[in-house]
Amino acid sequence: MLHIVNKSPFSSQALDSCVQVAPGGDLLLIEDGVYAASSGTVADNFMRDILKRFRVFALGPDLEARGLADRLIDGITPVDYAGFVDLVARNKTCQSWL
């Protein structure tokens, strides 16, 4: 399953809810959700724990728009829009966490 999170972990519980409920799978961070992929924040260790259960991706254009493209946590894979489509096609189901 592809889990999609578009909210910052600093202003929403969407990411936390996702990882508490979902057993694993692919996790795509988009829009303000990409703040979770940034190294050196209070979410850094939380994300490293998530990487043990999920394959984590972050939408590259959203990283770039927020100036985070060069601060990505090791193990998180940036994807472009075509990569987003590939993730949707590869997964049988998708869940957006609001």
- pLDDT, tens digit, for every residue of 26-37? 999 999 999 999
Is residue 97 within 8 Å of 4, Cβ to Cβ? yes
Residue 51 φ then ψ, to 5°: -65, -15
Q: Domain-by-domain residue ranges, the chain?
A: 2-97
Pick the CATH number of 2-97 from 3.40.50.300, 3.40.190.10, 3.40.1260.10, 2.40.128.20: 3.40.1260.10
Average pLDDT for the chain: 96
Q: How many CB atoms lie within 10 A of CB 65?
A: 12
Q: Residue 9's pLDDT is what?
A: 95
Confidence of residue 19 (pLDDT cuts 50, 70, 90): very high
